[in-house]
Structure 1
Amino acid sequence: MKNNPSKLHLIRFLQLMLVSFCFINGPVHASDINCKNEEKKKYEELICDYSILNSQYEEISTQQKKLLSNGKITEDALNSWREKRNLCRDVTCMDAVFAEWSNESIALSGQVYTRQTSENSAMYVNPPIEAPVRLNPARSSDVPKNSSLDNSVIAATTPYTTSEVSKASNVNSSSSIEANTGSAAAEQNSSATTSDDETHWGRNIFLFFIIVIIAKWILNRRRKILLAEARAAHRLELLTKYRDENIVKKILARVIWIGETKEQLLDSLHSPEDIDVKAFKSKTQETWKYERTGKNRYALRVVLDDDIVVSYDDKR
């Protein structure tokens, strides 16, 4: 399958942008699966053997530990997701579990960003504008009048003449009008600035959700492409191994049939959760159990005699 290089470059750029935006300043952690171990469980083999799943799980593990350290998810929620992962026995199941986490991580990232923007917006509240202090001009009536004092004494005790007081009153009145006009203009500017700030933050939040929607669409498209490539590679591997188209179709469809070999059953359903072995004189009988529903209760049991399927009980 050939892809357009320009489209792939755009997809990788937007993915890096989204991950950097949501998980910036976070430390890098290793995953909880060590592919160097010789003995691995089935879900570990899937993640380690398929490079696509391996790279995806490294990113998921980093995101989970970052969110866990920030308190955005709990240990119980993480363990619940890992239990779903551990039950997977094929690529399709593992891809579905990864996709579920991808949707949850994008939602959690959106909540974190929205809360940060609402907290930061409080830093841009305009300070209150104090009204100018007005001083009452001196009035001639404030000068005490005493009939026993002559005009010379009144003139000597009064610092300004009546005309000077009148001029000062007019000047102060003009200054008061100008101060009131300036205060009204400042209040209008303050209201306009507050409105601009609200518009600015609203635009940023809108752009963020647009980016999240586009990134989610790109991630889903990339996941579908990678899943199709993984299925094609797995089908080619089975064709090379069995050289029978009908057998390969049954294995990929997870069909059980009488006469199926042990190896074919492993390729179809992978390793069972439990095995009962009974040794008889002429044969060895094994009962493979899948999908536990209770104590010693399973939804699927497959009986093999000498590594050949002879019967099965499917209650799924």
Structure 2
Amino acid sequence: MVNVLVTGAAGFIGYHLSQRLLAQGDTVIGLDNLNAYYDVSLKQARLAQLENQPGFRFYKLDLADREGIAQLFAQESFEFVIHLAAQAGVRYSLKNPYAYVDSNLVGFTNILEGCRHSDIKHLVFASSSSVYGANTKVPFSVQDNVDSPVSLYAATKKANELMAHAYSHLYNIPTTGLRFFTVYGSWYRPDMALFLFTKAILAEQPINVFNYGRMQRDFTYVDDVVEGVVRVMGKIPPPKASGNTSPGSRSSAPYKLYNIGNNQPIELLQLIETLEQCLGKTAVKNMLPMQPGDVPITYADVDDLMQDVGFKPNTPIEVGVERFVQWYRSYYNI
């Protein structure tokens, strides 16, 4: 039983992680600002399920609130911090860049400062497969150079990795960054492709298929991501553990990076075909070119994750999509 701060607790991954930690007897202090980037009622529904359970406490707080975050760390005694809150979305970063600066840069600095002034055992934070940007070598490895982001969102996630390493080095904070690969599942975000496709197909409306359906994604089921996070949380990096920060790094910080992905990318058209089978309906496809900020493929090398914590995501896309469809039909009573 440990005290864990989960930022973004009302979000998609944060909700599932909080459920898992509560189920194993941990105390979860959840933080979220419940912003309106997508349907707030969905966030509130997730939160309602968490608040009904013993061991959960919630703070409605914005990451960019420096005094509020400092006060939270001063009055609570966290053993672990799992930082998942962020302004998400690649395309939205083209329209509202300051939201990413406030949440992902200023907000993350506030979390790092909180950890600096607290006796935490391990900071685990969410990075993203988007940091690989224009990389063409696949599968993507944490050993690869990631200096070519193609969206502001990706750039802020790369910045988070650098900021976290600096704090880990300066203040000896055990820190692990997790590069998530296209996470999906029940209680999904409404702005993501699988959710949008499902909603449109059931309403017999056309779906927008970018890059003419040829882009590939390493779709990773949320339960696999949560399993990875929990295992990594207990794997506290010692000093001199960060040889994977960059090729030739001499860092001695207690810092690690891992990919968490399904290690099996599929084409977008295959995802749509699987969804059509689960829904029993055929999609009307509006084939479109690649959108600015998108990448043609994501593909996770998870050898380090396997070696260090003995786990790799393995939920087949057919199983994951079926679970999502069952949740969607139940939640929206369709």
Which protein has the larger Cα radius of gyration, Structure 1 or Structure 2? 1
Q: TM-score, normalised by structure 2?
A: 0.23
Greater helix content: 1
Q: TM-score, normalised by structure 1?
A: 0.24
